[in-house]
Amino acid sequence: MSDSFMVAARIPMSRDGFAAWLDTPVAAPGRIVNPADMFTGWLWDGRRAETEWNSVGLGTTPREHFAERVEDSCAENSADGVLLYRDGALEAYLFHLGYDEWRVHTALLMFAAAGEFKSGPDDDTVLFWAETGANLWSADDTGWLAALSVGKGEARFVATRDLTDTVVGLRPVEARFFEMIERLADEEESWDWDSGDGFRTTTPRDPAFTNPAFLTTPQPPSRTALTTWPSPTPAPRPRDGRRR
């Protein structure tokens, strides 16, 4: 089994819908109606996902979760990924070094919650898989680990799905991901590792790879609209190791 675990999504939505999704906290795994059936029908068929959801970042907004992820990827943590709003759709292509349950399952919940803000009537498919080179499998490959069908009312894991259109739609964001990886590799190669300073980069924050809205702190309402502005408390998360 590869140690490169990937989550990818392309979910059409309006720009207003995208902005609303960014600041909507994930309240509970219940948005996914069958979380324990995550692996049914795919490579890990027979494995139940019953405890993996215990560590997800409930109460966290997509903006908070993914902003933290981007900042981690600017250091020595293996959290590289692309997060865009492009051509009328939310696009994501996220790398995890190993099966990082907290990040993987929190991301799946974030994308499940995006269904409320979808612009199209048809379900969209979020993919989870492992592949050494972090590439997309072909649509008919047997290596997929899970497929999450995201509708406007609910999301559910499906045991079968024609992935042809989903994979075609994800190819551009896959290409953008490898553009970022190539740039990071060049930066790491030229880094003075003997200096004792930890690796730092701003490449993941580049608008080519992360839509600036993910990194922008929303403005609180005026005092006349809200007397007390609540401060959200993000769920704790484990730290990753150094990017390879």
**65: helix, strand or coil:** helix
* Spatial CA neighbour of 237 closest among 25, 18, 77, 13: 77
Half-sphere exposure of 216 (CA within 13 A, CB side): 11
* pLDDT at residue number 194: 73
Which string of DSSP letters, residue by residue, matches 129-146? EE-TT-PPPPTT-S-EEE
* One-letter identity of residue 42: W
205 within domain boundaries: yes
Least confident of 24-28, 96-100, 104-108: 24-28
Let me know if residue 218 belongs to a domain: no
Q: What angle do CA 39, 113, 78 make, to 5 degrees?
A: 65
Residue 237 neighbours by CB distance under 10 Å: 18
Please check whether residue 225 lies inside any domain of the structure.
no
Whether residue 42 lies inside any domain: the answer is yes
In a domain, 168, yes or no: yes
Q: Is 229 part of a structural domain of the chain? A: no
Average pLDDT, the chain: 87
The predicted-structure confidence for 81-105, as pLDDT tens digits, reads as follows: 999 999 999 999 999 999 999 999 9
CA separation (Å) from 12 to 5, 56, 167, 176, 201?
24, 25, 15, 18, 30
Residue 219: inside a domain, yes or no? no
Task: Tell me the whole-structure pTM to 2 decimals.
Answer: 0.86
- 39-91 tens-digit pLDDT: 999 999 999 998 888 878 778 999 999 999 999 989 866 789 999 999 999 99
pLDDT digits (tens, 9 = 90+) for 140-174: 999 999 999 999 989 999 999 999 999 999 999 99
Torsion sign over Cα 206, 61, 102, 71: positive
Judge whether 78 lies within some domain. yes
Angle, CA of 142, 10 and 93, to the nearest 5°:
70
Amino acid, res. 27: A
Query: Which residue range(s) make up the domain with 155?
Result: 4-191+198-213
| Domain count for the chain | 1
Task: Identify the CA nearest to 167 among candidates 112, 124, 106, 110.
Answer: 124
Write the pLDDT tens digit of every residue in 7-21. 999 999 999 999 999
CB 243 within 8 A of CB 108: no
